Structure 1
Amino acid sequence: MLELLDLLSFGPNGWGDEIARGALLTIELAVATLPVGLAIGLGVALAKDSSSLVVRGIGDIYTTVFRGLPELLTLFIVYYGGQMLLTRIAGYFVDGANVEVNQFVAGVAALGLVLGAFSSEVFYAAIRAVPRGQKEAAAALGLSKYRVFRLVTFPQLWRVALPGLSNNWLVLLKDTSLVSVIAINDLMRQTAIAVGVTKQPFFFYLVACLIYLVFSMLSSAVFVRLEARASRGFKRVGGH
């Protein structure tokens, strides 16, 4: 047992530093993807709530495509397809140009597209949960559509959407493991390298499981606090 624990030591004789760097990169990737996915999701949700049939159709197509495609396939399309597209565009300006897409950026883009598709459903349901009469009353007071959304709609939809968004965040944390296939040294890739060198698959994959579980538990605690904070005013009103 001590020999196995020695494998997690920091320094040239252990894999602790590599595993720690991989875990940190996993968190950095998830945190960088979150605002991208939420922004896309909110935009698509507003499109699906639009009065324009064309805009609603675009939103529906987006969610259908990126909710239906496997996340790994989306990652490959963004990474390899993005390189081909950018190389072709650059070729119009520089003969023989070759553009390489940064793996981290490709991971954020691909996971952001997927998160945006699933988050749009959460946001859309939350938007529909806000009583239309409140929005109509705010508009009758002379508020612009932007101010109605910022002052009336968004504070309420945020409270309603938080539980669903917390689930999407947990799914995102797990999906970050897919980026190891495009040579990003995240937790799963560093774990796989350690397994290949030490021939201790059960031990290192168990360590990776525990790290992901710790991330999930900490995330759940954060979202519980966020939900409690977002619901404070609502609870006080309900108490009266």
Structure 2
Amino acid sequence: MSGYYASILQGALLTVGVSLSALLLAVLLGLIGAAAKLSGRKLPVALATVYTTVVRGVPELVLMLLIFYGGTIGMNNLLEWMGSKSTFDINPFLAGVLTIGFIYGAYMTETFRGAILAIPKGQMEAAWAFGMGPVRTFLRITAPQMVRYALPGFTNNWLVLIKATALISLIGLHEMTYLAKQASAATREPFTFFLFAAALFLVYTSVSLWALRRLERRYSIGVRRAAT
């Protein structure tokens, strides 16, 4: 039994790797999507709107299967059309990271967009009046305040993202949910191993919640002092 627990713990490390990699992609897509929606230009706004609408309206599992199987079929058809005899197989880790990052990038888009809209527009106009460019204004004025407004939504998205990594087990990635399923099938004790995996997820989410709440308090120090 101890060997199965050790295997699940190794899979738990892979789960962390997938989660953090997907988070980086989601944050990047979220910033791009929020900038597109707030740009005021028709094409970027339309593309970002389609992205957030479609992604948030289709289940994560369906998108994951489409990317994993559909992407493989599409690439192989492209290689065949180009006359190549080689075949393409997408890595389950990469498929999981791309899918989860792509999905939660849509949620991050709305989180960041709402956070930026919460900042008084006069502050950015004042920065422009002092001669700050768009990049400097974002780094010095918008970003620090955006973090404070975005942290509650970001925390929720991150917690859901961690749990969504369990779906990657369906495409063959040996993360802890997949290994817990294998252990339960071998020992016929599904409750024991799935409970162990659930406890590990609870540890991840609890630690994340504690750290993000401390970060939220850190970014709210000036606000709390002003209110007092």
Aligned-residue offset at 1:85? 2.6
Aligned-residue offset at 1:90? 3.1
Helix, strand or coil at the partner of 2:102: helix
The structure 2 residue matched to 1:209, chosen from 198, 214, 228, is: 198
1:146 aligns with 2:135: yes
Aligned-residue offset at 1:132? 0.4
Query: How much identity, in percent, do the aligned residues show?
Result: 38
Q: Which residue of 2 aligns with 1:231?
A: 220
Helix, strand or coil at the partner of 2:174: coil
- Detail structure 1 runs of 4+ shifted over 6 Å in the superposition: none
The structure 2 residue matched to 1:36, chosen from 25, 30, 47, is: 25
Partner letter of residue 11 of structure 2?
G
Q: Deviations over 1:155-186 (max 9, x none)?
A: 10111101110100100011000000110011
Aligned-residue offset at 1:202? 1.3
Aligned-residue offset at 1:93? 4.7
**In 1, Cα distance between equivalents of 2:132 and 2:223:** 23
The structure 2 residue matched to 1:112, chosen from 68, 90, 101, is: 101
Superposition CA RMSD, Å? 1.4
Aligned-residue offset at 1:88? 3.1
1:123 aligns with 2:112: yes
Q: Deviations over 1:179-229 (max 9, x none)?
A: 001100111100000010000011111111111111111110110121122
The structure 2 residue matched to 1:65, chosen from 36, 40, 54, is: 54
Q: Which residue of 2 aligns with 1:162?
A: 151
TM-score normalised over the length of structure 2? 0.95
TM-score normalised over the length of structure 1? 0.91
Partner letter of residue 206 of structure 2?
M
The structure 1 residue matched to 2:35, chosen from 28, 46, 69, is: 46
- Per mean C-alpha deviation after superposition, the further-off stretch among 80-89 and 16-25 is 80-89
Aligned-residue offset at 1:238? 4.2
Number of corresponding residues = 228
**In 2, Cα distance between equivalents of 1:90 and 1:136:** 51
**In 1, Cα distance between equivalents of 2:226 and 2:21:** 36
Q: Deviations over 1:140-168 (max 9, x none)?
A: 11111111111111110111101110100
**In 2, Cα distance between equivalents of 1:54 and 1:127:** 20
Partner letter of residue 36 of structure 1?
L
Helix, strand or coil at the partner of 1:15: helix
Relative contact order: is structure 1 or structure 2 higher (C-alpha 8 Å, sep ≥ 6)? 2
- Per mean C-alpha deviation after superposition, the further-off stretch among 65-74 and 199-208 is 199-208
Helix, strand or coil at the partner of 2:88: coil
**In 1, Cα distance between equivalents of 2:186 and 2:90:** 29
Q: Deviations over 1:2-26 (max 9, x none)?
A: xxxxx2x2xxxx3121111111111
Partner letter of residue 57 of structure 2?
G
Unaligned 5+ residue runs, structure 2?
Answer: none
**In 1, Cα distance between equivalents of 2:106 and 2:91:** 23
**In 1, Cα distance between equivalents of 2:204 and 2:87:** 38
The structure 2 residue matched to 1:27, chosen from 11, 16, 40, is: 16
Helix, strand or coil at the partner of 2:163: helix
**In 1, Cα distance between equivalents of 2:144 and 2:126:** 16
